[in-house]
């Protein structure tokens, strides 16, 4: 079953008197438990695609079915609910709340989902344990290393059991060793049956994925499955 | 419902964290509200005090009293027309007293002002009420010493006097005034009674504390040989009977004054309602102006809150983006910032209230007053409301942010 079904999605921005076609008639299907990398140079429309996939933005035209529900015409509040339930974000800059503990950061989506405290506690602890940070629950982001912060962000993305994990350059702010650790974490999550969409411009990061979609000027330039093979090291 | 509760709790937690994180800024902002709420609470307290003092004064005079007089006290009637009315005389009073069935008590009264002297102490221009023994039953007087003058003393126009508490204190200091001699315009009177403090400065000279009561016959004998008009004080049995008593009084007075059926009343029946109405007219305006001016200081505080909330929203744009990305709805974000503004205002309001209570203890020295429960409720609701109103625009700005833009904000 397709989790994501894009039909002729376009996104047009009005810049002054000029129209910019950030996405131009893109159609795309992604199945459950796929591991997809979206690549492309700056201005190719990756960010726009990612925003629409993540229900942060809506298309100018076209139809987006997420788990069989049309989300392309939803109101802001409906989209917020969809994001809460279906999408787990992992950002390049971690985007944790600076004044909140790891535990509270992970608990937050559950609060917005209206889950009672005891259940929240159990789920958040479990999510933190699954990224190996059970002993850092009460630390604030500034007391954690970059890799640990990103792990907290991954735990936050996983905690509601979303349909898609959307990661936007998740290793961009990490050194290569820590980056590899995070990619290994994604690999584990993928093996547990999650659907992962990775936005990156690094070839060696994209190579972790099973399918690579390349964008250019708002269109899909190529969309190919990656054969099972050894992951090349950086600099290859 | 559960959703809302969790979100609200989260909002409260965030606001407390945010306030703590920006302590200096929060305290300065709060200061505006502290001053605003403090002045509003003090003003409300002062108004309560004035009202209470007035009500006390009225009840000391007797709230259910009617005053039959040549003049209407509070009316737009032409003064010169009223001046041409016949005087109300003692003979008319005596006939009225026999005819009127409903009143609890009736008494004539006439006012005059004189210097009262005892030994070396004197009070210049003391208001005297000349009346009969029945007068005391039209009032709620309590006696510190002695009694009111008797029927015999009244009808015999004896030189006896009852002193108000302030007058007695002035003339006799710590000595017992009872059976002592005072000189009114040089004429000796014997003190037969001293009133307890009745309690209202609102009525000025009319406050019984500042008066001396003497038999009406002595007034006519020594001070008012012209036999001026008297006022007949009529006390109804209770509030419910005031109207009927007034109707009867009008009918009886018309008979006493020999008016024909087509003639207009040539006297007026005054009530304390008139006094209350007049009081409300004057003091009501003062109250409104006072509350308006103190309200302005609250407004300044509110503008401060609004300003700081806009700054807070701007600073936390990225946080708003994060929250939206993980599922916060508009109302959640809105609620978060409204809660923050409300918490700042509520804290400021509580501090202001405590300050007001302390200050009112000082004010209490001049005007008997204390912060009332309704003032507390008022102050807390106003501070909460101020927070919500001044947080509205900033919170809305936060709520309607585009998550994509907000996440990109540096």
Whole-angstrom Cα distance, residue B161 to residue B193? 7
Q: Mind telling me how many Å the CA of B315 is from chain A's nearest CA?
A: 13
Phi-psi region for residue B65, left (φ > 0), alpha (ψ -120 to 50) or beta? beta
Phi, psi angle pair for B337, to nearest 5°: -75, -35
CB contact under 8 A, A84 and B321: no
Q: Is A75 on the interface with B (CB under 8 A)?
A: no
Same domain (yes/no): B26, B81 = no
A234 or A54, greater pLDDT: A54
In the structure encoding, which two tokens stand for residue A92, read together?
A: 């390049």
Question: Which distant-in-sequence residues (6+ apart) come within 8 Å of B111 by Cβ?
Answer: B127, B128, B129, B130
CB-based contact B326 A116, cutoff 8 Å: no
From residue A123, alpha-carbon distances to A44, A106, A126, A132, B73 in Å are 38, 9, 5, 14, 80
ipTM: 0.92
pLDDT at A162: 93
B44 or B151: which leads in pLDDT: B151
How many other β-carbons are positioned within 10 Å of the β-carbon of residue B360?
22
pLDDT of residue A76: 92
Are B244 and B329 contained in the same domain?
no
* CA count, 13 A, side-chain hemisphere, A182: 30
Cβ-based contacts of A77 with chain B (< 8 Å) = 329-331
Whether residue A235 has pLDDT greater than 70: no
Question: CA dihedral defined by A60, A62, A68, A73, rounded to 10 degrees?
Answer: 30
Nearest to A99 among B10, B21, B321 (CB): B21
A57 part of contact set with chain B, CB < 8 Å: yes
- Tell me the shortest Cα–Cα distance from B284 to chain A, in angstroms: 49
Q: Span B51-72, mean pLDDT? A: 80
Q: Let me know whether B145 and B191 are in one domain.
A: yes
B30-34, B69-73, B363-367, range with the lowest pLDDT: B363-367
Residues B11 and B8: their CA atoms lie apart, in Å, by 5
> pLDDT digit string (tens) for A139-155?
999 999 999 999 999 99
The reply to whether A196 falls in a domain is yes
Per the prediction, chain B carries an average pLDDT of: 88
Identify the pLDDT of residue A66: 93
CB of B12 within 8 Å of any CB in chain A? no
Residue-level pLDDT at B79: 80
For residue B401, give the chain A residue with the closest CA. Answer: A76
pLDDT, average across residues B13-25: 86
Does B17 lie at the interface with A, CB-CB under 8 angstroms?
yes
CATH number of domain containing A178:
3.40.50.300
Provide, rounded to the nearest whole percent, the portion of chain B with pLDDT above 90: 53
Q: pLDDT by residue (tens digit) across A100-150?
A: 999 999 999 999 998 998 999 999 999 999 999 999 999 999 999 999 999
* Last residue of one domain, picked from the residues B272, B293, B312: B272
Please judge whether B325 and A95 are an interchain contact, meaning their C-beta atoms are less than 8 angstroms apart: yes
**B408 contact A CB<8A:** no
Predicted local distance difference test score (pLDDT) of residue A61: 93
Q: Total structural domains in chain B? A: 2
| A contacts of B403 (beta carbons < 8 Å) | 56
What's the whole-number average pLDDT of chain A?
A: 91
Domain housing B133: 64-272
Secondary structure class of A229 (helix, strand, coil): coil
Which residues does chain A have within 8 Å of residue B3's beta carbon, measured at their own beta carbons?
114
What was the pLDDT predicted at A169? 92
Angle CA B203–B208–B213, to nearest 5: 140
Residue A26 phi/psi, 5-degree rounding, is -90, 130
Summarised one tens digit per residue, pLDDT across range B100-139 is: 999 999 999 999 999 999 988 999 889 999 999 999 988 8
Cβ count within 10 A of residue A227: 6
Chain A closest CA to B385's CA: distance in Å? 26
Q: Which domain holds residue A56?
A: 2-225
Return the closest-CA partner of residue B324 out of A11, A89, A53, A65: A89
Reported as a single tens digit per residue, the pLDDT across B189-209 is 999 999 988 766 556 667 888
> How many domains are there within chain A?
1
Do B260 and B397 belong together in one domain? no
- Beta carbons of B17 and A99 less than 8 Å apart: yes
Question: What element of type H or E holds A62?
Answer: strand A61-66
Quote the pLDDT of residue A236: 44
Residue matched to tokens 């005031």: B242
Subunit contact B326:A109, Cβ cutoff 8 A: yes
For residue B281, count other CB atoms closer than 10 A to its CB: 10
Q: Tell me which of B82 and B337 has the higher pLDDT.
A: B337
Question: Which of A59, A112, A115, A153 is the best residue to mutate to test the B interface, defined by the most B CB atoms within 10 Å of its own CB?
Answer: A112
Interface contact B324, partner A, CB < 8 A: yes
- Number of CB atoms found within 10 A of residue B170's CB: 17
Residue A188's contacts (CB-CB under 8 Å, 6 or more residues apart) are none
Q: Which two tokens stand for residue B72?
A: 């209407």
**Could you say which of B248, B272, B296 is where a domain stops?**
B272
Whether residue A235 lies inside any domain: the answer is no
Integer-rounded Cα Rg, in Å, for chain A is 18
User: Quick check: is A127 in a domain?
Assistant: yes
The sign of the CA dihedral A108, A110, A116, A122 is negative
Closest CA to B342 of B30, B42, B35: B30
- Single residue among B221, B241, B272 that ends a domain in this structure: B272
Residue that is written with structure tokens 């009969």 in the block: B132
Which residues in B lie closer than 8 A to residue A117 (C-beta atoms)? 6
Does some domain include residue A105? yes
Whether A141 contacts chain B with CB within 8 A? no
B72 & B30 share domain:
no
Residues from chain B that touch A54, judged by Cβ atoms under 8 A, are 325
Quickly tell me which residue has 């209570």 as its tokens. B357
Q: Are B232 and B288 contained in the same domain?
A: no
Please say whether the beta carbons of B348 and B33 come within 8 A. Answer: yes
pLDDT in tens, B218-241: 999 998 877 788 999 999 988 888
B326–A112 CB contact, under 8 Å = yes
Cβ within 8 Å of residue B209, ≥6 positions away:
B164, B165, B166, B167, B195, B197, B198, B199
Q: What per-residue confidence (pLDDT) applies to B346?
A: 92
Q: Using the beta-carbon criterion (under 8 Å), do A112 and B329 form an inter-chain contact?
A: yes
* One domain, residues B120 and B254: yes
pLDDT in tens, B299-342: 999 999 999 999 999 999 999 999 999 999 999 999 999 999 99
Q: Is A234 within a domain?
A: no
**Per DSSP, what are the bridge partners of residue B187?**
B184
pLDDT classification of B45: cutoffs 50, 70, 90: confident
Strands (E), B3-147: 65-69, 105-118, 121-131, 143-146
> What residue of B is the nearest CA neighbor of A78?
B329
């Amino acid at each position: 079953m397709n989790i994501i079904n894009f039909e002729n999605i376009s996104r047009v921005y009005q810049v002054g008197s000029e129209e910019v076609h950030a996405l131009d008639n893109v159609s795309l299907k992604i199945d459950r438990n796929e591991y997809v990398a979206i690549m492309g140079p700056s201005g190719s429309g990756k960010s726009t695609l990612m925003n629409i996939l993540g229900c942060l933005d809506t298309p100018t035209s076209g139809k987006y079915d997420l788990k069989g529900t049309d989300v392309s015409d939803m109101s802001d509040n409906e989209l917020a609910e969809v994001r809460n339930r279906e999408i787990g974000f992992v950002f390049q800059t971690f985007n944790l709340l600076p004044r909140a503990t790891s535990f509270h950061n992970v608990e937050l989506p559950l609060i917005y989902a209206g889950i009672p405290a005891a259940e929240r506690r159990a789920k958040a602890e479990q999510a933190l344990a699954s990224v190996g940070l059970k002993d850092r629950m009460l630390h604030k982001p500034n007391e954690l290393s970059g890799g640990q912060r990103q792990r907290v962000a991954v735990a936050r993305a996983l905690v509601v059991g979303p349909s898609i994990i959307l990661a936007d350059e998740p290793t961009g702010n990490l050194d290569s060793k820590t980056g590899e650790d995070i990619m290994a974490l994604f690999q584990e999550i993928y093996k547990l049956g999650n659907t992962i969409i990775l936005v990156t411009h690094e070839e060696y990061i994209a190579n972790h994925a099973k399918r690579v979609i390349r964008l250019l000027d708002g269109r899909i330039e190529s969309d190919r499955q990656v054969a099972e093979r050894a992951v090349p090291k950086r600099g290859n | 419902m559960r959703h809302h509760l969790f979100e609200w709790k989260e909002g409260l937690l965030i606001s407390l964290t945010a306030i703590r994180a920006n302590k200096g800024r929060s305290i300065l902002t709060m200061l505006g509200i502290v001053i605003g709420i403090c002045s509003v609470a003090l003003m409300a307290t002062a108004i309560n005090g004035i009202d209470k003092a007035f009500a006390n004064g009225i009840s000391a005079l007797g709230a259910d009293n009617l005053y039959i007089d040549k003049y209407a006290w509070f009316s737009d009637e032409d003064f010169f027309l009223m001046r041409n009315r016949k005087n109300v005389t003692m003979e008319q009073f005596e006939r009225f007293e026999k005819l009127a069935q409903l009143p609890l008590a009736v008494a004539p009264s006439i006012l005059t002002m004189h210097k009262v002297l005892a030994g070396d102490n004197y009070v210049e221009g003391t208001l005297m009420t000349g009346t009969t023994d029945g007068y005391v039953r039209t009032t709620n007087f309590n006696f510190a010493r002695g009694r009111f003058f008797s029927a015999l003393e009244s009808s015999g126009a004896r030189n006896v006097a009852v002193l108000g508490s302030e007058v007695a204190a002035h003339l006799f200091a710590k000595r017992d005034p009872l059976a002592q001699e005072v000189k009114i315009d040089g004429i000796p009177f014997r003190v037969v009674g001293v009133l307890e403090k009745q309690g209202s400065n609102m009525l000025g000279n009319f406050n019984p504390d500042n008066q001396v009561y003497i038999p009406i016959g002595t007034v006519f004998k020594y001070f008012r040989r012209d036999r001026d008009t008297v006022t007949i004080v009529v006390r109804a049995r209770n509030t419910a009977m005031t109207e009927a008593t007034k109707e009867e009084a009008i009918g009886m007075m018309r008979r006493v004054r020999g008016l024909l059926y087509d003639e207009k009343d040539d006297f007026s029946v005054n009530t304390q309602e008139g006094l209350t109405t007049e009081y409300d007219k004057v003091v009501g305006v003062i109250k409104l102006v006072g509350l308006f001016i103190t309200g302005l200081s609250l407004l300044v505080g509110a503008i401060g809150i609004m300003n700081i909330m806009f700054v807070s929203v701007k600073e936390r744009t990225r946080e708003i983006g994060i929250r939206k990305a993980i599922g916060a709805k508009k109302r959640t974000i809105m609620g978060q910032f409204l809660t923050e503004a409300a918490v700042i205002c509520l804290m400021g309001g509580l501090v202001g209230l405590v300050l007001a209570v302390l200050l009112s203890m000082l004010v209490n020295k001049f005007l008997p007053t204390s912060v009332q429960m309704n003032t507390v409720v008022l102050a807390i609701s106003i501070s909460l409301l101020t927070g919500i109103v001044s947080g509205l625009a900033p919170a809305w700005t936060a709520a309607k942010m585009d998550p994509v833009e907000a996440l990109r904000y540096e």
